[in-house]
Amino acid sequence: MSPFDPQGQEDLDADFALLTEAVEAASEAAMRHFGRQPQVWDKGGSPVSEGDFAADAALRERLRGARPDYGWMSEESDDPQSRLKARRVWIVDPIDGTRNYISAHKDFGVCAALVEDGRVVLGAVGAPARGEFYAARLGGGAFLNGARVRRAAGPDFAPDLSSVRFVGNNAMTDWRLWRDGKKLNAKPVYVGSLALRVCMVGTGRFDAAMIVNPFHEWDLAAAEIFAAEAGVRVVGFDGKEGVYNQPSPVRPNLVAAPEPLAGEILSRMA
């Protein structure tokens, strides 16, 4: 990672406490509707529930209320373009994995991150149905339920990557993604929340995550800093780290894995 000088330590401490409190409150708001057949609406082909809106309101009230001069980006709120002029921006996904949430499946996350000058400096992902809370700060480590998480170097892997425990979907096995034109010899485990996939690589539950289809900054921001602080490389297929708070917050793809596995995966991609 390149050298980076985030906001003052005292400010960062206060924002970290604010962020974790907000994600905890939003997680509680989401759980009040979980498993109770929440009302659901369609938003252009994807669902949104009253739980999403409740979590968004809890995040917005606490984060924007306490820091009105910070920018704001949320999946469930209007996108104020004034955020592009802000040095610090809250990026939130009230419920990542809404389909799971609606179906009362536990794999969903309440996500919030603070970005400064395009880089994530704080992040938290609540997975209340799993009893898990992921949190991280730039240079300050990654924590799961308050316990420090730090991954060792990447696992040993077979020449065909068949021994790698991938999380994602079968799109990653498409032969067109790989230099030798052969289908990836892997059976990825599907987890419906992108944020949880990346967090689970950070904890070592999986070796690597790949996202083949486009996604949004709010899906990744909080999970990325957790994984990175845990020792995982999180980059696009081009090998570059993402810059946040872009005019269009869409990312094309993603690889998350510790080294040397991350480098091996990228070197084999077409």
Please indicate, yes or no, whether residues 61 and 28 belong to a single structural domain of this protein: yes
107-124 pLDDT, tens digit each: 999 999 999 999 999 999
Cα(251)–Cα(210) distance, integer angstroms: 13
Cα(108)–Cα(98) distance, integer angstroms: 7
Averaged confidence pLDDT in the chain: 93
DSSP reduced 3-state for 46: coil
Please indicate, yes or no, whether residues 198 and 124 belong to a single structural domain of this protein: no
For the cut 80, the answer to whether the pLDDT of residue 8 exceeds it is no
Residue 3 belongs to some domain of the structure? no
Please indicate, yes or no, whether residues 32 and 63 belong to a single structural domain of this protein: yes
Q: Are strands 233-235 and 250-251 parallel, antiparallel or unpaired?
A: unpaired
Listed residue (255, 159, 258) closest to 207, CA to CA: 258
Structural domains of the chain, count? 2
Note the pLDDT of residue 61: 97
Note the pLDDT of residue 34: 97
Please indicate, yes or no, whether residues 139 and 172 belong to a single structural domain of this protein: no
Cα(139)–Cα(13) distance, integer angstroms: 12
Averaged pLDDT, 242-268 = 95
Query: In the listed set 149, 184, 204, which residue is the last one of a domain according to the structure?
Result: 149
What's the domain range around 193? 166-268
Note the pLDDT of residue 2: 34
Q: Which of 152-156, 191-195, 203-207, 266-270 has the lowest mean pLDDT?
A: 152-156
Note the pLDDT of residue 3: 39
Note the pLDDT of residue 77: 83
Please indicate, yes or no, whether residues 189 and 82 belong to a single structural domain of this protein: no
For the record, the structure tokens of 228 come out as: 């990175």
Of the ranges 1-10, 70-79, 223-232, which is most confident? 223-232
For the cut 80, the answer to whether the pLDDT of residue 147 exceeds it is yes
Note the pLDDT of residue 88: 97
DSSP reduced 3-state for 36: coil
pTM: 0.94
Please indicate, yes or no, whether residues 57 and 103 belong to a single structural domain of this protein: yes
Averaged pLDDT, 120-135 = 98
Query: In the listed set 149, 175, 201, which residue is the last one of a domain according to the structure?
Result: 149
Note the pLDDT of residue 7: 57
Using a pLDDT cut of 70, give the percent of the chain over it.
97
For the record, the structure tokens of 231 come out as: 């020792």
pLDDT class of 192 with cuts at 50, 70, 90: very high
Residue 121 belongs to some domain of the structure? yes
Note the pLDDT of residue 6: 54
| H/E stretch holding 211 | strand 208-211
Residue 1 belongs to some domain of the structure? no
217-252 pLDDT, tens digit each: 999 999 999 999 999 999 999 999 999 999 999 999
**CATH number of the domain that 204 lies in?**
3.40.190.80
**CATH number of the domain that 123 lies in?**
3.30.540.10
| 234 DSSP β-pair partners | 256
CB 252 within 8 A of CB 236: yes
